[in-house]
A and B are shown apart, each in its own frame.
Chain A
């Protein structure tokens, strides 16, 4: 056996090992160790991708001494490899670019715990991607959910706690449904291994047995995963969760966590149950129509949103709708397009969240009006943000364009479905363009057009208001000291000193002033921009890899 086949196992275990070690490391050490491990996982996945693409097949790997139906098993093919590569890249670049934001948002002594969450999340995503066993999938879904909850609440302000509770409650509904689906499927087939289930299901549907039960199982699992991924009727937790948490958390949650669930759903559809049974159950129509609704509704809601980061979060709902629409069409081209969109959206969304972190001052959200003119001040990150916005709208040369093209092309030739799909794509793209380009225009409004706002009054309001956490005040101070260092400010500061909690005196705030801007941040977002261009310009080989992966999928 080639040594390369050990790599999926190595990458999963490496992340777990890193998580365990991080529990005793100090903050900086934990951060660097996590980054090294993520880089190593990237390298391993890259080599695996090369190997699987060259050999063109897939392989199974025993987790233990026993062959498949008895022991656990993981499976590697080029689809899994490229997905693992995507996950580790996004995780690495998020941690790289968001270092300052992490330091700013999280208590010093708890910073290593944050990296434990990142490592465990990555390892669970890798396990979900490589697994060949449904119950293993369930266990790692749970790790992913809990780690996601941890990522949301890590800022520990009131709102993020409430949001985390809401996320947890909704996710638990999803896991309950998924688990009962797995149980019923086990009862019907007697297997937990994906390929064996597929054989049994094919035999069952051949005999015409348990048709209704199978439909219910498929429905339960689909709804369970759709709840966790945030498809349209279950999307309510998304805006708060992405809009409130730390930027690195938002980037990881929106671009990898929800995509991991969707990848598992694709595995359930195409590897576990089989396309025939799926088509008989009609669940694809449900996916398709919910995806369409999500595409339009998400965009409309984003258009109405005033808070900047929540707007980006709402656009995630629309993008998840795109992916589900692709899965719902059900042909190989459409699923290829959906998977390509997973990559395009993941890279773009993390670029948007991370690059905007500079002009939203870390994880603090701003209303869109407040963005006016910031593009002149934060030139580089505004430029990267604009590229991300163009990509998500679907400008040529960028990843978003190709994925929309593929989705549109896949929809053609499916009777009434194609008109609906193309119309929804058109409407959603226009809406996307309206709300994303609005922010870009706001960023680059010439300075003389910006009305002078009375920051001092705003600050007073903030300080007097009872319900404000110390952090918000701190943020406003930071901005203030940066912009007008006059006596007035200092006066207010002394009068409100008791509101700022101990340990953050003025000098420390001044030290934080350069904001997120540091070499790591620049490298991180530059890499994301480059990857976006890679997706746009070299889409051919990537589509090839996905297609080949899908071919050997079942």
Chain B
């Protein structure tokens, strides 16, 4: 509700200042938009009906004779343990059989981080962001500007909260240990790099909200994040290149698979899980830090 009011208070002023001659006459635009809305609504209803009818004719859920339970899935289950060394068949599948997909997926995360960094990182005063923002803040909020600036201050840190501090002192180590456990056991039990990395990242975020940036920067700052991400991605990229290259040229990769079920087993999968875990933890932390203060 509050937001709506703000919007309304801005609208008339901006109309007066800018002269308001938009390229398309507003009547036509309105009509066009309503046509689009109706068409979209019809399309959505149609889509639901079509998809639902199609679904009713699809193979039944949970049937073991469905087309997707074919030789592909069978080989993953029956030979997966020997071929990849991973007890967790899904881990073995995404990090060994279909590793190219998973590499692409890590790149999605990487490119999203880059985009978020471009959007939110503030580099000194050189950036366009600050002045312009302050200017438009002033315009929109008028008299309340000083209060707003205080609230929006980049380096605003919440007051010391005893409950949060004490409880996160207890919880933070547990979260860290759990995250590392999930990463290292990715090939043995449910979990893996992504889930473990997300847990670690959440732990860092908790630490940051409890103790503030000054304390967190001792072990997580822009440089560490950059170096960890770089090393992890490079190791990931190079080890996958090696395995793709040897695989395609029918060469022996020479990586021992170990005894299934042990921590040090399943060849590259463990390494990849650790790399992915580090990347994801750093990514989660840097998303949070970038949103809060515009730098990592």
Contact = CB atoms under 8 A, between A and B. Distances in A.
Nearest to B229: A23
B234 interface: yes
Contact of A24 (B50, B112, B125, B226): B226
Interface in B25-84: 50-51, 53-54, 57-59, 66-72, 75-76, 83
B260 to A, nearest CB: 17
A503 B125 contact: yes
A186 B114 CA distance: 32
Interface in A455-484: 465-467, 469-471
A172 interface: no
Interface stretch (B150-158, B175-183, B248-256, B286-294): B248-256
Contact of B118 (A16, A69, A153, A157): A153
B211 interface: no
Given A17-B237, A64-B248, A188-B67, 14 more contacts: A63-B244, A70-B76, A71-B98, A72-B99, A107-B127, A120-B107, A139-B101, A139-B108, A149-B115, A186-B68, A187-B59, A188-B58, A501-B131, A503-B126
A380 B138 CA distance: 46
B29 to A, nearest CB: 12
Secondary structure class of chain B's binding surface, majority of residues: helix
Contact of B100 (A17, A63, A146, A465): A63
24 contacts: A9-B244, A9-B248, A13-B237, A16-B107, A16-B237, A17-B241, A23-B114, A63-B247, A64-B100, A69-B72, A110-B118, A114-B118, A124-B104, A136-B100, A143-B108, A146-B111, A147-B115, A187-B58, A212-B57, A213-B54, A466-B139, A467-B18, A470-B131, A502-B131
B23 interface: yes
Given A150-B118, A154-B118, A187-B66, A64 B244 contact: yes
Interface residues of A, number: 74
A271 interface: no
Interface of B: 14, 17-18, 23, 50-51, 53-54, 57-59, 66-72, 75-76, 83, 96-101, 103-105, 107-108, 110-112, 114-115, 117-119, 121, 123, 125-129, 131-132, 139, 226, 229-230, 233-234, 237, 241, 243-250, 253
A75 interface: no
B115 A117 contact: yes
Given A66-B83, A143-B107, A213-B54, A156 B76 contact: no
B72 A156 contact: no
B226 to A, nearest CB: 6
A487 interface: no
Residue in A1, A113, A154 with the greatest tally of chain B CB atoms within 10 Å: A113
B230 A143 contact: no
A63 B69 CA distance: 23
A332 interface: no
B296 to A, nearest CB: 13
A64 B111 contact: no
A65 B67 contact: no
B72 A190 contact: yes
Contacts of A9: 244-245, 248
A190 B117 contact: no
A149 B54 CA distance: 33
Contacts of A142: 108
B88 to A, nearest CB: 17
B108 A146 contact: yes
A204 to B, nearest CB: 9
Given A117-B114, A190-B69, A470-B131, A71 B54 contact: no
Interface in A107-137: 107-110, 113-114, 116-117, 120, 123-124, 127, 133, 135-136
B245 A146 contact: no
Interface string A182-198: 00101111110000000
Given A16-B237, A142-B108, A146-B111, A109 B126 contact: yes
A6 B126 contact: no
Contact of A153 (B59, B72, B119, B241): B119
A210 interface: yes
B249 A216 contact: no
Interface string A293-336: 00000000000001000000000000000000000000000000
Contacts of B110: 19-20, 120
B72 A467 contact: no
A139 B127 contact: no
Nearest to B117: A113
B125 A64 contact: no
A160 B50 CA distance: 36
Interface string A141-179: 011001101100110110001000000000000000000
